[in-house]
Amino acid sequence: MEHKKTLLIQNDLGLHGRAAAKIVELSRKFEARLFFRKNGQGEVDGSNILSILTLSGSKGTEIEVKAVGEDSFELLEELSALFDDKFGEGR
């Protein structure tokens, strides 16, 4: 099972430490493996805080997300909600 989605970074600070930490925590709740890709560059591990940071995702950047595994659809749903919620940062 594999699902893909493009997510938009909407919070002011972008994918900084706290946001990245939330993604890692979320991905740990699922079996599926998570991969991120920015601007068609190389894929990075979406369950690793440093890899996510190295994406250097600032506000307005689109991230291609791929989840591989049984619960990949659910993972992407929750991840997408997290992005839309601006990682709970409110701005």
Q: Contact with another protein (CB under 8 A): which of 3, 10, 33, 48?
A: 48
56 binds another protein (CB under 8 A): yes
First to last CA, the chain: 34
The answer to whether residue 24 forms part of the interface with another protein (CB under 8 A) is yes
Integer Cα distance of 83 and 11 in angstroms: 8
Q: Give the angle 47-8-31 at the CA atoms, nearest 5°.
A: 25
29 touching another protein, by CB under 8 A: no
CB 53 within 8 A of CB 9: no
Angle between helices 72-84 and 17-27 (to 10 degrees): 160
Candidates 7, 11, 15, 79: give the one binding another protein (CB under 8 A). Answer: 15
In whole angstroms, the minimum distance from the beta carbon of 77 to another protein comes to: 23
The contact set with another protein (CB under 8 A) reads 13-18, 20-21, 24-25, 45, 48-51, 53-54, 56-59
* Residues annotated catalytic, as ranges: 16
